[in-house]
Chain A
Amino acid sequence: MVSLDFAAVLEQWPLLVQGIGATIWLVALAATLGGFLGIACAWARTWGPKPLAWLAAGYVESIRNTPFIVQLFVIFFGLPSAGVRLSPEWASALAMVINLGAYAGEIVRAGVEATPRGQVEAGLSLALTPGQVFRRVVVPPALARVWPAMVSQIVIVMLGSAVCGQISARELSYFANLIQSRNFRAFEAYLVATAGYLVLAIALRRLLLWVGPRFLFGTVWRG
């Protein structure tokens, strides 16, 4: 008979709470900076000068076609040989920003490309600069259009952050690993951590779907 002992894991709850806090911090940072990076990328690929558009396309394709764990290893183990030494936490945050930026760039681009031509012309005819038109006329409704896809991607990046424990960044999966190394209850420790991730994923999705229309792109805009 299989005997499970969850009490041995749950009595270490301060570590789990600390891990959940760190994961939330990582995803908040990645979502904010990655979101901006994605918008910049979408701008470069649709409105930017040719060389910048190619650069952005190269970035997006190289990130989308390699595993996150390898990107993390290149940053954490590879960059020190170029003289850049990051703590595990900052390396994880950087990897998550770069990763989300590429996916967000592709998602936002789809929204930008769906902008009716007339809206841009209307903006320009009001003497807004092209930069203002992009920021104030194109991006908000573009974000509104692609918000569900964006939310899914942010949740995927949050789940992907479990890998950051592999370079000993102190987030939820790292603490699960720490707990199981203390009490040898590997299955229970990882099951509890997995439940934590599931709750985080559901809560994050709800939160973002609520926050987006209210604070990021004005009132609900249907285009």
Chain B
Amino acid sequence: MVEFTLWDILRNLLLAARWTVALSLIAFVAGGALGLLLVLARTLPAGAVGRWAGRCVALHVEVFQGTPLLMQLFLAYFGLALLGLEVSAWLAAALALTLHASAFLAEIWRGCIEAVPRGQWDAAASLALTRSEQLRRVIAPQALRIAIAPTVGFLVQVIKGTALASVIGFIELAKAGTMITNATFRPFAVYACVAAIYFAMCYPVSAFSRRLERRLNGAR
């Protein structure tokens, strides 16, 4: 029987934490890209196409914000298999987390765009800027400033969300914790280490987000 020291536990957990970081970054970046498309679809001018696109985005947001991330992971995992695709837990987790993040980011950014006073659109329009120029040159720079703090804050949610990928068998920090527990029979020590590593990853991000928010409010 191999004896595990606390250092062995910590070392193995830290190795697994790399996958948590990788999955978080993929979900955050891909979710951000998709979220951007969604939020752009929502700002289309109010014609037939705009209304239709807006409704689709609203439905996407409602569904992904109104159902558990765990169920989304299961559906991605079993749904892709049903379509006859060779699924790895890795692919299913990345897909589910991306869709999940896109819904939340789209909603956050929509709020930021709506926080820009209506008059800014009108003023830009009166200067004969096209719709896309109004968005690009007048609205987006102002919305971006408001969006930074909550977007960084949402990264914490994504990092914590990746812990659920353990359930469909993706080996990241939480799954490694379970595996090491099964080998060492020291659940309290192992899960306390797991929690500490998550805290070490998330706390700086939340503190940074709070600082950004304070700085922005101070500048107003």
Instruction: Report which A residues bind B (CB closer than 8 A).
Output: 2, 61-62, 64-71, 73-74, 77-82, 155, 159-163, 166, 173, 176, 186-187, 190-191, 193-194, 197-198, 201-202
Contact = CB atoms under 8 A, between A and B. Distances in A.
8 contacts: A65-B202, A66-B199, A67-B198, A69-B163, A70-B191, A80-B187, A163-B70, A187-B82
Contacts of A194: 67-68, 71-72, 75
B89 interface: no
B70 A173 contact: yes
B195 interface: yes
A78 B220 CA distance: 47
Nearest to A3: B82
B188 A190 contact: no
B83 A162 contact: no
A62 B75 contact: no
A159 B164 CA distance: 13
B75 A190 contact: yes
A173 B174 contact: no
A176 to B, nearest CB: 8
A67 B78 contact: no
Contacts of B74: 186, 190
Contact of A190 (B78, B83, B163, B202): B78
B160 A67 contact: yes
Contacts of B47: none
Contacts, number: 115
A198 B63 contact: yes
B194 interface: yes
Contacts of A163: 68, 70, 164, 167
A187 to B, nearest CB: 4
Nearest to A191: B75
Count chain B CB atoms within 10 A of each CB in A65, A74, A81, A201 and give the residue with the most: A65
A141 B22 CA distance: 44
B177 interface: yes
B206 interface: yes
B69 interface: yes
Interface string B162-195: 0110110000001001100100001110011011
Contact of B195 (A71, A159, A160): A71
Contacts of B63: 198
A197 B68 contact: yes
A74 B188 contact: yes
A179 to B, nearest CB: 12
Contacts of A64: 156, 202, 206
Interface string B69-93: 1111011001101111000000000
B208 interface: no
Interface in B39-57: none
